[in-house]
Structure formats: structure tokens, C-alpha cells
Amino acid sequence: MADIVKLTVSVISEILRNDSSDSDSSSNEEWESLLKEKERRIIRPRIQGYAECVVARYTNYDFQHHFRLQRATFEYILSVIEKDFVRKTTDCEMIPFRQQCLIALWKMAMMDSYRSIADRFNVDKAAALRAVRRVTHALFKVAPHYISWPTNDQAQLVMRKFEENSRFPKIIGAIDGTYIKIDAPKENAADYVNRKGYHSIQLQVVCDHRAVITHCYVGHPGSLHDQR
């Protein structure tokens, strides 16, 4: 459960970074810099065959340790979002779909730098950034199909199961929150400093009796009290 919440935080964090970069000039400059680096075709030594050979030989334990997901869950995710990666043109070479997903999950799980990710997966930094953006937005599109509030009948079942497990009546979900670390905003930066002393926004998650996420809300500044 903790790993799933961490991945949820990472996905939302990447979405926020991507949305911000669309309007933030400094981020645009970073993106242009990455593209220029690709155009220069600088050849640097990188790890060869990590996604194709090394990951394929990982045990299920090793795979989950590195990517925070069971291998079977990863394969299911591939089947769900694959249609968003159908190529509309063959004009340029594209990183294999599976490798793009591994790159994105590695970024979310390890919060590694794009330079390090590029070395590990034998791609340039611009390609790694694009892979993370594609996978993040694909996950965001399908999220409502998997994160949904219980219907009337489902709610009755959830409340009954909570009472059976904990003896607390009429409980429809377990709620908790966490902080998503962000760069200091240009406006009202002080509002985003949380009680731990860094800039953030808040994420609230509700789970049912199976620890399945049924609601996810994000956006309040980090300084807002948890009880709000």
C-alpha cells in the first residue's frame, strides 16, 4: 500500500511539473536545451541493454524493489495504456513502448536525475523526459476508471467490511494525507511552506477496506492545516 501511495504521489508530482513547464519560461528553456543537446548528437558512454536484458532477468522481488510495482501489475499497466503509444508517423525513431514505461516508473520510484536515467536506459535526456511525460499523461487519462467513489451498493459493502474488521460502524474509507514537494512558486511562496519547512502542496487519499484508493485530491498549499 505504501508503495502505491508513493507512486500516486510521483505521478501527480510529474503531472504538476509537466503542466507548470507548459507556461514557465525557465522550464521551456530547459526543454529547448535538452533538445539542442540531442541535435548535437554528443556520444557519451552509457549502460547497454539494461531495459532489454537486465530487467528481463530480475526476479519478481528485484523488479518490485526497483520499480515499486509487481511485475504482473506492470504488465497490466502496459496493456491498459498501450493504445496511447500507437505511432502516428514513422518519420523518426521512437523508444520502445515498454522501455518508455520502465523509464517513467524508474523516475517515479527513484526520483533520479534525467542525466542518470539517460545513462541507465541508454537514451538521451530529452527522450527520457518525453517518455516520462507520455506515460504520466497516459496514466492520468485512465485514472478515473480505477480511482472512483463507491456507489450506493458498494458503499454498503465497504461499511460492512470496515465494521467486521475494526468494529467501527458506518466507515466508508480510511483517509490520510501527505505533502508533494514543489519548487517555490513565483507568487505567494510563503503559503506553500509546510510545517516541515519546505514548499509543497497537499495530497489527500481515501482507501476502502481492501486498501484500494477510492478518492484522490490534490492542490491545497502546504501551509494549510490538515484538518481543513
pLDDT tens figures, 133-187: 999 999 999 999 999 999 999 999 999 999 999 999 999 999 999 999 998 999 9
- 90 located within any domain: yes
Instruction: Point out the domain boundary residue: 94, 119, 144.
Output: 144
One domain, residues 133 and 152: no
One domain, residues 103 and 162: no
Phi, psi for 211 (deg, rounded to 5):
70, 25
Q: Residue 205, CB half-sphere, CA atoms under 13 Å: how many?
A: 21
Q: What is the dihedral of CA 79, 213, 154, 210, to 10 degrees?
A: 100
Look-up: residue for cell 496511447? Answer: 84
Domain of residue 111: give its range.
50-144
Instruction: Point out the domain boundary residue: 121, 144, 167.
Output: 144
Confidence tier at 44 by pLDDT (50, 70, 90):
low
pTM (2 d.p.): 0.74
One domain, residues 118 and 154: no
One domain, residues 214 and 190: yes
One domain, residues 119 and 153: no
One domain, residues 140 and 164: no
- 156 located within any domain: yes
pLDDT at 23: 47
Q: How far apart are CA 14 and CA 163, in angstroms?
A: 37
| Chain segment 73-127, per-residue pLDDT in tens | 999 999 999 998 877 655 566 899 999 999 999 999 988 999 999 999 999 999 9
Mean predicted lDDT score pLDDT of the chain: 85
Instruction: Point out the domain boundary residue: 126, 144, 162.
Output: 144
Count: domains in the chain? 2
One domain, residues 119 and 158: no
- 79 located within any domain: yes
Residue 205 scores a pLDDT above 60: yes
